[in-house]
Chain A
Amino acid sequence: MADVKYSEEHEWIRVEGDTGTIGITQYAQEQLGDVVFVDVPAAGRKVAKGESVAVVESVKAASDIYAPVSGEVIESNAALADTPGDVNAEPMGKGWFFRIRMSDKGELAGLMDEAAYTAFVKSLG
């Protein structure tokens, strides 16, 4: 059973073994509006937790996406270049951004589970 964690920056990470798949949440895509461009990191890139690793651009704004954990990018969702609308349609499905091989699974402890994230979003009004 995959374990999904959430960050305060509205990224989700689905953990399977030592790899994690990362994207943005339903709340994030609603706030952004129609996504028109996504820049995902290339495989092989080493990223540190909190580092800006991707860019998502909507009709309203361009936003940085931060790595919720440290590690090495092993795959990125190349399809988003042609179909950025996937992020709106299925933010936690085919709208995923990239997969990472985590270097420190301990960092996951600093993220929220679904219940905590739902409460966090609610607190934003």
Chain B
Amino acid sequence: MASSQDRSQGRSGGIVSGGATEAVTFTGNRALQIEEPLIFEMGQPGRCGVDLPEPPKVKDRLNGLRRSGDIGLPGLSEPQVVQHYTRLSQKNYAIDMGVYPLGSCTMKHNPRLNEKVARLPGIGDLHPLQPVSTVQGALELIDRLAHWLKTLTGMPAVAMSPAAGAHGEMCGMMAIAAALEARGERAQRKVVLAPESAHGTNPATAAALGFTVKPIPANETGRVDLAALKAALGPDVAAIMLTNPNTCGLFESEIVEISTAVHAAGAYFYCDGANFNAIAGRVRPGDLGVDCMHINLHKTFSTPHGGGGPGAGPVVLSAALAPYAPYPWIVKDGETWRVAEDDAKVAGTPLGRLKAFHGQMGMFTRALAYMMSHGADGLKQASEDAVLSANYVMAALKDVMSPAFDGPCMHEALFDDSFLKDTGVSTLDFAKAMIDEGYHPMTMYFPLVVHGAMLIEPTESQAKEDLDLFLGALRSLAAKAKTGTAAEAFKAAPLYAPRRRLDETLAARKPILRWKPSNNPPETDPVKQAAE
């Protein structure tokens, strides 16, 4: 357990010990690895990036409420601001830098064509309050994307407005609740079933809507235990929330039996579409009996993700749930597109409106650009390549790491920590050592059903030789761990990152979420310490 008093962590002042040489620089920098202060620590009183005229002397009407104190903004010149944020950006690992194997996140390449299209005049400068007559093309674009989403999923309706995956879950589960209400069974059907391997957002969504969550165990193949599911189904069950392929990277092979049993019990089938990248173009969720599914455009359809941009989580709906779609949607009257959002009707529908305006237009544009540039055949091939890559990872590592389940996987390869048994190296240590090798770690300790889980999703974006280098690094780390003498070295990782092992426990127990001068008293200011 990391000691909360250990201040050797964090800012290391440019010292790397254990190597042949120890280098201490005056600045604390290590070549391009710059020791960057917070912007508030850089600011100087009175400095300003622009030359503002003196405010005219006018009599204000603030009645003595004029602010007299400092507003707390740091004073910086424009080059200082540009340099600061550029240096910070260089510390960030990104899809554009290399393999980003974060499982269940689908960190795939964002084609530059998407960006070009999103910046076209008439798209890039749209405002949601523009007169509808001036945004006819944009509305058609939303409708076109809706058509692609319905076609790819085999579902008759789609709600475009949800802002991202969890918001989409909320939308879908609210539609289910509304449908139950209409049947007069909302009070009776209180239970939502979710497999133990579910994304955390699934039970959270159900609980937020007042449902009781009941976990369904996995069988020995990592899939839903059908007998246990059937035993849990009854007149009190509202829905099942299931991800397919699931978070173990496995296709739920009994999915049709599951949906049939769920429907026979009078419940609905919510599918979490986070892993749609494995099956888009190959399988239509509508054919599997799905009642609603959110689609993470920022995963499957390559819109920027993970700090790079907002998500977008349209929800496709079955005929049974389509009447409960939230406002607004796009309709065509003759030759004219319009937005269906009659205020009186919005207020009268069960879901009303879930989000301001029409959804994430910038993401819609990029997703449609991705779909149209790939075509139906290209989308299918992308899914196939994603599955092929994950199986390549699985095959390349299975003799040195321990696959959680036998057999081929879908779009992500799941390992447990049994290959680290008795080495003194934990999943966390292994992940930290990957940072030194120049990679963002895989998803770790998730799904919870697998001990010390390591979930690797390579996506279809990586060239074979880049994947080979990544796999070589993992094989080398596994071999090093298995020597049984490397535990200390692993515990010390990362050695070469801008920060050494961070105290995640202290950060969670005593989070400092806002910079205040008192958070950083001079005597413990690492920048000053480094200078002394």
Contacts and interface: CB of A to CB of B under 8 A. Distances in A.
Contact of B504 (A59, A62, A63, A88): A59
Contacts of A34: 1-2, 504-505, 508
B448 interface: yes
A118 to B, nearest CB: 19
B1 A60 contact: no
B509 interface: yes
A61 B448 contact: yes
B200 A62 contact: yes
Interface in A22-64: 34, 36-37, 57, 59-63
B513 to A, nearest CB: 14
B508 A36 contact: yes
Contacts of B508: 34, 36-37, 57, 59
Interface string B423-450: 0000000000000000000000110100
Contact of A88 (B1, B200, B445): B1
A66 to B, nearest CB: 11
Of the four ranges (under 10, 10 to 19, 20 to 34, 35 or more), the interface on chain B belongs to 10 to 19
A62 B445 CA distance: 11
Interface string A67-110: 00000000000000000110010000000000000000000000
Contacts, number: 24
Contacts of A84: 509
A121 to B, nearest CB: 13
A91 B504 CA distance: 21
A59 B506 CA distance: 10
A48 to B, nearest CB: 12
B200 A36 contact: no
Given A34-B1, A88-B1, A61 B505 contact: no
B509 A85 contact: yes
B65 to A, nearest CB: 39
A84 B511 CA distance: 14
Contacts of B445: 60-61
A84 B506 CA distance: 11
A37 B507 CA distance: 12
B432 to A, nearest CB: 13
Q: Which of A34, A37, A84, A85 has the most CB of B within 10 A?
A: A34
A57 B1 CA distance: 16
Contacts of A88: 1
A20 to B, nearest CB: 24
B505 A59 contact: yes
Interface in B1-27: 1-2
Interface of B: 1-2, 200, 445-446, 448, 504-505, 508-509
Interface of A: 34, 36-37, 57, 59-63, 84-85, 88
11 contacts: A34-B504, A34-B505, A36-B505, A36-B509, A59-B505, A59-B508, A60-B445, A63-B448, A84-B509, A85-B505, A88-B1
Q: Which 8 A-B pairs have the closest CB atoms?
A: A36-B508, A34-B505, A60-B445, A36-B509, A59-B504, A61-B448, A59-B505, A34-B1
